[in-house]
Amino acid sequence: MEKVISGIRPTGNLHLGNYFGAVKSFIRMQDEYQCMFFIADWHSLTTHPTPENLRRSVKTILSEYLACGIDPAKAPIYVQSDVKPVLELYLYLNMNAYLGELERVTSFKEKARTQPDNVNAGLLTYPTLMAADVLAHKADKVPVGKDQEQNMEMMRLFARRFNRIYGVDFFKEPESFHFNKEAVKVPGLDGSGKMGKSEGNAIYLCDDEATIRKKVMRAVTDSGPSQLNQEKPEPIRNLFSLLRLVSAEDTYAYFDDAYNNMTIRYGDLKKQLAQDINAFCAPIRERIADFSSNDAYLDKVAAEGAEIASASAEKTLAEVRAIIGFGK
Ligand code: AMP
């Protein structure tokens, strides 16, 4: 079975965009591939979190992924910093990663431009750490969005370069796994194209019913259709896209008909949407609360994941050391 590995950034809570755009595909993938998921806490140090924030965000993201349905019995989930052989590989890969090529990475250039006071070496070598995370397990596929494509190319370059320098056929070149094709883009509630944390328009899986209602009722609309069967402008289309994700088909059809024959009342549409989003989120929300109050279970999941991932990475590193020329 092909190996798939995915890093999860411990940044804030999961929202509906994350769920329908990524996590839902992860849940399906764990039945079809040999998956591993890790929480990229080393990567997150580029932004210098406080120890409390780091601990809290790792725990939060672990609870939320488990609540969504990642099953550690099918797919180990581990914390990156628990798997030390990856650091060793990061060092080896850095010896053959060149300043020029690292500086040319678009996400590095973007960060260097937006945070000129914090252009640290961790940021520069983000692609080598990402490559070490994946190559340490000799994974076949990495689910990534378009923004990570360049990092994937760097990873393949580092793998090829290692093989060439040492005259071996050791690392395979991991492929990008574009589940984004099947994933839906989840729009924001402010009439904008995309739901996102930084856009401030997100509904989080942990939001309570009153918060969901408040956010949905505030969503941008217009003065209503002025012609029969007219095309929906963006803010309205967005509400229908959300409805499509969380509501029953006949509910969608009911409001679609109402829009087309100009009898729609946006207040009713929003009330229904809020209710259906809440019905979707409620069981996940309850599981998030259960998991996040169960430190013993979270520790157990992370420890079991770390054991599996460490064994896998250590096996690779034992061979890498021998190839490089360490030991007898
Ligand atoms: P982020 O939390 O912004 O780093 O997003 C993590 C992943 O969630 C992204 O790589 C996307 O696959 C997915 N995602 C985030 N926002 C959306 C959205 N509005 N629609 C669809 N997918 C999304």
Does the domain at residues 209-289 carry the CATH identifier 1.10.240.10? yes
Q: Is 273 helix (H, G, I), strand (E, B) or coil?
A: helix
**Active-site residue list:** 111, 194, 197
Whether the predicted pLDDT of 180 surpasses 80: no
Q: Is 205 helix (H, G, I), strand (E, B) or coil?
A: coil
Cβ of 186 closer than 6 Å to ligand 1, yes or no, is yes
CA 65 – ligand 1 centroid, Å: 14
Closest CA to 36 of 12, 56, 65: 65
Tokens of 245: 């994700």
Cβ of 22 closer than 6 Å to ligand 1, yes or no, is yes
**Residue 60 CA to its chain's centroid (Å):** 14
Top CATH class, 3-185+295-324? alpha beta
Closest CA to 233 of 187, 197, 202, 198: 187
Residue type, 314: E
Angle subtended by helix axes 266-292 and 249-260, to nearest 10: 150
Prediction pTM value: 0.93
Q: Is 77 helix (H, G, I), strand (E, B) or coil?
A: strand
State the residue for tokens 């739901």.
195
CA dihedral 124, 101, 2, 177 (to 10 degrees): 90
Average pLDDT of every residue of the chain: 95
The pLDDT tens digits of the residues spanning 291-313 come to 999 999 999 999 999 999 999 99
Say what the pLDDT of residue 147 is. Answer: 83
The pLDDT tens digits of the residues spanning 316-326 come to 999 999 999 99
Residue nearest to atom 1 of ligand 1 (CA): 18
Query: What residue ranges do the domains of the chain occupy?
Result: 3-185+295-324, 209-289
Q: How would you class 42 by CB atoms within 10 Å of its CB: exposed for 0-12, middle for 13-18, buried for 19 or more?
A: buried
C-alpha span between 36 and 178 (Å, rounded): 17
